[in-house]
Amino acid sequence: MKDYGQIPGGNNCLKPLLYPFYNSYPVKIWSKYRWLKNSRLKHELPRLAQKRKWLTVIDRLGAPGDALITANVIRSIKKKFPNLKINCITPHPELVKYDPSIDSVNDRETFYSFDSSYWDLVDRKETTTNVVAHSLDKLNIKSFKYKACFYLSEKEDEWGKQQTNGLRRPLLSINTTSKELVKTWPKDKWNGLMPELQEIGDIIQLGDNREPKLIGAKSFAGNCTMRESAAILNHTDLFIGPDSLLMHIANGLKIPSVILFGGSRPVQCLGYDQNINLSSTPECSPCWIHDGFETCTHMVKCMNNINRSQVIDAVTSLLNIPPQIHQN
């Protein structure tokens, strides 16, 4: 009998790619040997790199944003071991498409394999450890840069440019909704923010079909693939939204961003230094709540504590707009 362990992101389509674990002897001996070798991976990597061997890095949590976190882990490994060949297994291969640090995507798992995961940080409600640093520490890699990268083709980039032609600059992009309620700023606050943003520039709304209708925004929400959203985002001047996939994509495209973090996840763990990260840390934070596992019993206080003036101050700061000009 063979097992495959935890399937990345619960995506059963990836199950055939995973290296089997045998539960019955004598083949179980091979599985235990492989487990032992992978438990010593930090000692094996120099030899594997010298011989240009393959390592599979698995995006085990499997949310869209986790694909870009996994790619960050891979780039950090490649920086230290440039001769290593890396296969990435992820439920979202389209998001790491064209990344030059990744040699193959969703090929079969190799003998040597490593999990990009921070579930234990979630479990212990971590307050300070960066998610990429957490993975790399298991490989004894201390030097890294927490920075996303996102790669568009010329055709995709040109399409994104066409969608934004004729819009007033500075062009603002927004995303209001996370799949996690504890990371979502209330709709009434967005409604109150929109008139002030319209004074600054035109507004594009991105995201999926959960996005609310907001007056004053040109909405692409629910009508674009993730890569199409990235192509449009690449031709905006600033992004405003929650800790979500688009936060990672914006950082990967070097788009200045105002991130409505709240307090469910610590900025120190997931926030990018290049952004202005608006946080609020009531006594219940960080909760690391994931929908389906826990629910907030504090009326999402951490998100409600963020006010419109904080957002506007952050926007004008990143756009280098003097406050008195905006007020006039």
In the listed set 89, 112, 137, which residue is the last one of a domain according to the structure?
137
Cβ neighbours for 37, distance < 8 A, ≥ 6 positions apart = 44, 111, 112
Task: Give residue 227's pLDDT.
Answer: 98
Which tops the pLDDT comparison, 3 or 131? 131
The total number of structural domains that make up the chain? 2
Residue 3 has pLDDT above 80, yes or no: no
Q: pLDDT tens-digit profile of 197-223?
A: 999 999 999 999 999 999 999 999 999
Task: Give residue 322's pLDDT.
Answer: 80
162 and 265 part of one domain? yes
Of the pLDDT bands very low, low, confident and very high (cuts 50, 70, 90), residue 108 is: very high
Task: Give residue 224's pLDDT.
Answer: 98
Q: Is 186 part of a structural domain of the chain? A: yes
pLDDT above 90 covers a percentage of the chain that reads: 93
Question: Cα dist. 121→23, 58, 241, 281, 310 in Å?
Answer: 29, 17, 23, 17, 29
Task: Give residue 6's pLDDT.
Answer: 82
In the listed set 137, 164, 199, which residue is the last one of a domain according to the structure?
137
101 and 198 part of one domain? no
96 and 225 part of one domain? no
Q: What is the mean pLDDT of the chain?
A: 95
Q: Where are the alpha helices (DSSP H) in 124-272?
A: 131-137, 154-164, 187-200, 226-233, 245-252, 267-270
192 and 275 part of one domain? yes
CB 77 within 8 A of CB 84: yes
Of the pLDDT bands very low, low, confident and very high (cuts 50, 70, 90), residue 325 is: low
CB 44 within 8 A of CB 112: yes
Burial class (CB in 10 A: 0-12, 13-18, 19+), 165: exposed
Closest CA to 316 of 247, 232, 277, 258: 258
114 and 241 part of one domain? no
Q: Is 208 part of a structural domain of the chain? A: yes
Task: Give residue 146's pLDDT.
Answer: 98
289 and 162 part of one domain? yes
Residue 328 has pLDDT above 90, yes or no: no
How far apart, in whole angstroms, are the C-alpha atoms of residue 288 and residue 265? 6
3-state secondary structure string, 130-152? CHHHHHHHCCCCCCCCCCCCCCC
193 and 296 part of one domain? yes
Closest CA to 180 of 263, 238, 267, 268: 263
Identify whether 212 is preceded by a cis peptide bond (ω within 30 of 0). no
176 and 319 part of one domain? yes
171 and 121 part of one domain? no
Q: pLDDT tens-digit profile of 136-188?
A: 999 999 999 999 999 999 999 999 999 999 999 999 999 999 999 999 999 99
Q: Is 82 part of a structural domain of the chain? A: yes
120 and 198 part of one domain? no
Residue 327 has pLDDT above 80, yes or no: no
160 and 304 part of one domain? yes
122 and 221 part of one domain? no
Q: Is 149 part of a structural domain of the chain? A: no
* Residue 67: domain span: 2-137
Residue 291 has pLDDT above 90, yes or no: no
3-state secondary structure (DSSP) of residue 278:
strand
